[in-house]
A and B are shown apart, each in its own frame.
Chain A
Amino acid sequence: MIDAYLRELAVQLDVPARRRARILAEVRDHLLESAERHGEEGAIESFGPPAELARDFHLQLASASARRSSALTALALGGSLLLLALIGSGPMGDHAPWTSAGLYGLVSFFAAQVALVAGAIGMARWARYRHEPLFPAQRLEDTQRANAVALGCIQAIVVSQGVGVVIHAGSVGDSGWTIALTVTTAALAVVTLAGMAGLVRALARSRPVAVTDPERDDALADLLAATRLRVSLPEWIDMRAHPWRFCLLFAAACGIAAAAGHALLDGGFDAVTWSSVARMLLAGLAIATIEGAAVALAFAGLGRFLRIRA
């Protein structure tokens, strides 16, 4: 009976071979010891069904993988922000690839924002469950989706900035800065690839986890739990009740921030003259509209995938 139980458990366990061998050896030892006191049938009954034990192990491995994947994603996100800051502060200044209107600059600009939001969603989930022994099974897939979007965008930044640096570095003349930039870009590429490998592993670990418990909260609750600590949104822009209203307000705020940032880069209020006001307002309106439209499009395209809207 014990051998049959162990054969059934071996079939149910979808874990690495070495881990499986250890689990089976420990379970065999336990059942033999228990059988000496209670008989084989009693030992197996007290131990519990193999499917439940396998599920517990699957969830444990999936939780650990999800946490590692989130940590790597956070590291890659920090590295990408460092890379963009390094480029912006370097000799290229305003002509840095990410501030230019070239394709690689636009890719970096929007990819960085999407990566920041997706990364924040992943980190909010990590923060909410960091003190619990296991990640809730219902939230594993949501977390990995957020990490996948963040890592994909960071990889787009790495590639676009890498192309930009290769094209423009020759005109800079500061070899020390060029070397620092090349090393940082390469390091970020390695971290991002490691993050993607970790994510693939996390997805494989969560595949055998069956979600059998009822939904604890919806996916949005994780994000709101993280922000509710400091921000209490009024009901009329509640994300759950009015997602599009919230999105449009958020998009407008991003647009205004982008326009203001651009104005500051252009010299701020010192550069304002009566003749330039109209031009600046038009430029600001154009930037705000483009940024706001991009935010709304991203919400439409990714909102359901990231489980931040129904």
Chain B
Amino acid sequence: MRSEALKGHLDGLLLAVVAEEPAHGYEILERLRDRSGGAFALPEGTVYPALHRLEGAGLLKSSWAPGATRRRRVYALTSKGKRALGQRRKEWRSFAGAVEAVLAEARA
């Protein structure tokens, strides 16, 4: 998928991935890649400004956690983030449904 198209949905995707279980940046990207079957491929660095922004908006919280070889910055969803994720899921279902209806009509 083109990275420009993905950027508009990146926030929602990151929230959904973190909602599963708290994770650090590399793990978040791995989950995003795995769950999308490799469809979502964007420069890995772009995820960090988005994570910082979501944290600044109060949708994520983060802290340093000890890892096997080095400490990592782990991100977790806040309650405000859970509500925002629910809202984005609703908006996406509505949008996807409308697009599907138009495309289906066009095919018919």
A residues contacting B by CB (< 8 A) are 22-23, 25-27, 29-30, 32-34, 46-48, 52-53, 56-57, 59-60, 64, 133-134
Q: Is the CB of A23 within 8 A of B24?
A: no
CB distance from A133 to the nearest CB of B (A): 6
Q: Which residues of A contact B50 (CB under 8 A)?
A: 133
Of B45, B56, B73, which is within 8 A of A52 by CB?
A: B45
Q: Is the CB of B70 within 8 A of A27?
A: no
Of A32, A34, A53, which is within 8 A of B49 by CB?
A: A53
CB distance from A35 to the nearest CB of B (A): 11
Count contacts on B: residues with CB < 8 A to the other chain. 18
CB distance from B8 to the nearest CB of A (A): 9
Of A22, A48, A134, which is within 8 A of B46 by CB?
A: A48
Say yes or no for B44: interface residue by CB 8 A criterion.
Answer: yes
Q: Is the CB of A30 within 8 A of B52?
A: no
Q: Is the CB of A53 within 8 A of B53?
A: no
CB distance from A165 to the nearest CB of B (A): 40
CB distance from B45 to the nearest CB of A (A): 4
Assuming the A-B contacts A29-B26, A34-B44, A57-B49, are A64 and B73 also in contact, with contact meaning beta carbons closer than 8 angstroms in the complex? no
Main SS of the interface on chain A?
A: helix
- Selected A-B contacts with CB under 8 Å, 23 pairs: A23-B52, A26-B25, A26-B48, A29-B25, A30-B25, A30-B48, A33-B26, A34-B26, A46-B43, A46-B44, A47-B43, A48-B44, A52-B46, A53-B48, A53-B49, A56-B45, A56-B46, A56-B49, A57-B49, A57-B52, A59-B49, A60-B53, A133-B11
Q: Which residues of A contact B26 (CB under 8 A)?
A: 29-30, 33-34
B residues contacting A by CB (< 8 A) are 11, 24-26, 43-46, 48-50, 52-53, 56, 70-73
Q: Is the CB of A64 within 8 A of B56?
A: yes
Q: Which residues of B contact A59 (CB under 8 A)?
A: 49
Assuming the A-B contacts A25-B73, A26-B25, A32-B70, are A48 and B43 also in contact, with contact meaning beta carbons closer than 8 angstroms in the complex? yes
CB distance from A31 to the nearest CB of B (A): 9
Assuming the A-B contacts A26-B25, A29-B26, A30-B26, are A133 and B44 also in contact, with contact meaning beta carbons closer than 8 angstroms in the complex? no
Q: Which residues of B contact A33 (CB under 8 A)?
A: 26
Q: Which residues of A contact B24 (CB under 8 A)?
A: 26, 29
Q: Which residues of B contact A26 (CB under 8 A)?
A: 24-25, 48, 73
Q: Is the CB of A47 within 8 A of B45?
A: yes
CB distance from A126 to the nearest CB of B (A): 15
Q: Which residues of A contact B52 (CB under 8 A)?
A: 23, 57, 60
CB distance from B2 to the nearest CB of A (A): 15
Bound complex: CA A24 to CA B70 (Å)? 14
CB distance from B70 to the nearest CB of A (A): 6
Q: Is the CB of B45 within 8 A of A27?
A: yes
CB distance from A3 to the nearest CB of B (A): 15
Q: Which residues of B contact A48 (CB under 8 A)?
A: 43-46
Name the residue in B11, B48, B73 with the highest tally of chain A Cβ atoms < 10 Å from its Cβ. Answer: B48
Bound complex: CA A34 to CA B24 (Å)? 13
